[in-house]
Amino acid sequence: MKILVCISHVPDTTSKINFTDGDTRFDTNGVQFVINPNDEFGLTRAMWFKEKQGASITVVNVGGPETEPTLRKALAIGADEAIRVNTEPTDGFFVAKQLAKIVADGGFDLIIAGRESIDYNGGMVPGMLATLVNANFVNTCIGLEINDNDVTAIREIDGGKETLKTSLPLVIGGQKGLVEESDLRIPNMRGIMMARQKKLTVAEPVEATKETTAVKFENPAPKGAVKLVSPDNLDELVSLLHNEAKVI
């Protein structure tokens, strides 16, 4: 089984976010980047298929040279090879078109993407990719078992879970629950050394229309001042809630 794991290069959630060019572009200065958490769950599940069923794993990212350390980390975790599509990932449909070309050229059976990236939270790419490559699709996937060509997938739905039967080729939008957080892997020294020798291919992008454009970004409003009320002064608390907060 050939598995392609789509990797987004996203800011660490602890990074301070700023914008430049009149709040039209994300400022990457001083920002630490990591593997998108939803993709990391998917990569860990792919490693299970590699170890139990002998699957091969290719990781792919759409981005510039600055994303290669993130791909190298995926290789250190255990992926066999990596592909970087040499273009800026500015639009969900544009990214899906790039990934579709990689899938078509590679003949992959299972494509694992994150449900969404934690930077733009678009949640568009996995579904678009499945349509472009004519594959089955399961989103918000939290469980995946494969026996030959038969697939049992569990996805999260409002108020519960749904178990689906499908077949390969398959695209999933994975998320937390696909593996446990305790199963996520930290590259060891041997993995890091081996990653340096693994193949990282740079592919040129295909022509594709960019269907959306980010017009402007805006930081959340700063938190307001906090008033502390003594637990012994309930009358003041009630007065503030009634007259200032106006919630009672």
- pLDDT, residue 35, reads 97
Count the helices and strands in the chain (H runs, E runs): 6, 13
Whether 79 is in a domain gets the answer: yes
Whether 58 is in a domain gets the answer: yes
Domains contained in the chain, number: 1
- pLDDT, residue 47, reads 97
pLDDT, tens only, 105-163: 999 999 999 999 999 888 999 999 999 999 999 999 999 999 999 999 999 999 999 99
**pTM of the shown model:** 0.88
Whether 228 is in a domain gets the answer: no
Boundaries of domain holding 84? 2-216
CATH of residue 117's domain is: 3.40.50.620
- Amino acid at residue number 174: G
- Element (DSSP H or E) covering residue 103: helix 92-106
- pLDDT, residue 142, reads 97
- pLDDT, residue 106, reads 96
**Residue 32, SS3 per DSSP:** coil
For the chain (248 residues), the mean pLDDT of every run of 10, in chain order, is 97 90 90 96 97 97 97 97 96 96 97 94 95 97 96 96 97 96 92 94 94 87 85 90 88
